[in-house]
Amino acid sequence: MPAIRNYLYTVFIASGIFILSLIFYLLLQNRFVYNSLASHVINNYYHENNTILRGKVPYESYAESKMLHWDARLYLQIKENGYDTVSAGGDYIFAFFPLFPIVWRITHMTPSMISIFNYVLFIFAVILIIRHFHSRKMDDHKLYAAAAICSPMLAVFLIPYSEGIFMLTATIALWGIYKDKYLVYFIAAMLMSVTRSSVTILVVALLLTEIYFWFGHRKSLWSLRSFTLKLLPLISGILIVSFIQYLYESQSFFRFLQVQRYWGFQFQIPRHLTDWAHEQFGTNLSLLLLLLPLSTVYAGYHWFRYVFKRSGKPLINALTAEAFRKEYLFVLSLFFMTGMVLSVLLFRGGSLNGLSRYILCTPFYYITLFLMKEKLSDVKTAVKVIFFTSFFIITLTVLSASGYSSSWNFSDTGFLLFYLQLSFFVFSKLSRQKWLVILFAILTALWTSYLFNMFISDTWIFT
């Protein structure tokens, strides 16, 4: 009964944030409301003479056709015409995986309905993650549910993108690993592999995770079997994608990799950091500066302990089966997110565009948050304050020195929301401050409405 009540709390909170975001979006379309309440804070983008400008203008009015910008238009193309390169205007269409447009085609949903469907899938995924990785007392469930749902990239789950399906299938796959239910993992991981090409990063992350834990138990056959079983559904999904695309004369079983050249995807040492939108540069930069050193230090420290422990049982044997699987998922999540950072950094010439979406809209991020909270529970508050403040100041300094944020304005809200969300999981006492959680939810809803308006307006791409 308490579990059902907590699920209902999460659904209620998610519905409240969605409704509040919708209210903000509708209200700020009205010129009088916008001029009276928001014009001195929020400047919006708009089109004039084929140029994107920014000024004191209200939000764009809604229309179903305006939900088909950016990648949504390409998913619609696959939904209606498959991978037909003639109607798509080029073979770049092979970069997009088919499961989301297939679901869209089968359900016959409108763009707005499939977007709401995405949001529902996201909430189901969050419920599953909280149910199994939130170790605190039940009475703060609803506050952590709010802290988890209030993502600076929440708007991505409210547009016709594949993130909703990827989030749920990946969550179920990781749950299958956690509960040692291979059939569940196999089916979910295979579906996940037919959804987004980021599964290629996951293959590398799985390999590194198995190598990492091999130093703890030194069981080569066990590691080889574990990696092979986890790899099978991923390879199966990739082959399904390749076969479907081959039917449309892709002329190669891995065309989805070859067409990445249209996005400048090739190995190149970055000389400077750039982005496609001011709105996500701060968050993208934060992920870069946080994940690379933290994952290196964490993995390096434990690897050192595994390698140089000279007596007694292997350190990994000290963990229970459940504790081992939690640690496995934590390390896997770190490697996945770090791999995503490195792939964006080293194969796009320093352009960080999309990094926030590739990380914050996945269960790997959420599992890391909840397990990190558990790991930090015994660390002294003063130590956490020093490290958290140091990373924040470093990111703030780098961001202020860049050309994107030499002057601070509402466009930097996503950066602040990211650190605020992180702080709820680093400092557990903050989550007990209901007023702060409510303020966080309100600000997230306003930010979500702002990003949604950018999408509707077809301005700078923040995804």
Cα angle at 14 between 443 and 188, to 5 degrees? 120
- The pLDDT of residue 403 is 66
- The pLDDT of residue 188 is 98
Residue owning tokens 């504790």: 323
- The pLDDT of residue 323 is 85
Q: What CA–CA distance (Å, rounded) separates 150 from 154?
A: 7
Global pTM reads: 0.94
> What tens digit of pLDDT does each residue of 211-225 get?
999 887 888 999 999
Q: What CA–CA distance (Å, rounded) separates 383 from 51?
A: 49
- CA dist list (Å): 313 to 217, 300, 316, 318, 325: 9, 20, 8, 8, 19
Angle between helices 2-27 and 434-457 (to 10 degrees): 50
- The pLDDT of residue 371 is 94
- CA dist list (Å): 425 to 110, 118, 146, 166, 370: 37, 25, 12, 24, 7
3-state helix, strand, coil in the chain (%, to 5): 75, 5, 25
- The pLDDT of residue 253 is 79
Find out whether 423 and 290 touch, Cβ atoms under 8 Å: no
- The pLDDT of residue 144 is 86
- CA dist list (Å): 397 to 273, 286, 290: 14, 11, 14
- CA dist list (Å): 19 to 26, 415, 442: 10, 23, 11
Find out whether 99 and 162 touch, Cβ atoms under 8 Å: yes
Ranges in the chain, pLDDT < 70: 1-2, 135-139, 306-320, 403-406
48: β partners: 51
**Torsions phi, psi for 335 (to 5 deg):** -65, -40
- The pLDDT of residue 309 is 60
Q: Residue ranges per domain, the chain?
A: 2-457
> What tens digit of pLDDT does each residue of 6-62 get?
788 889 999 999 999 999 999 999 999 999 999 999 999 999 988 999 999 999 999
53: β partners: 46
CB-count exposure of residue 312 (10 Å: 0-12, 13-18, 19+): exposed
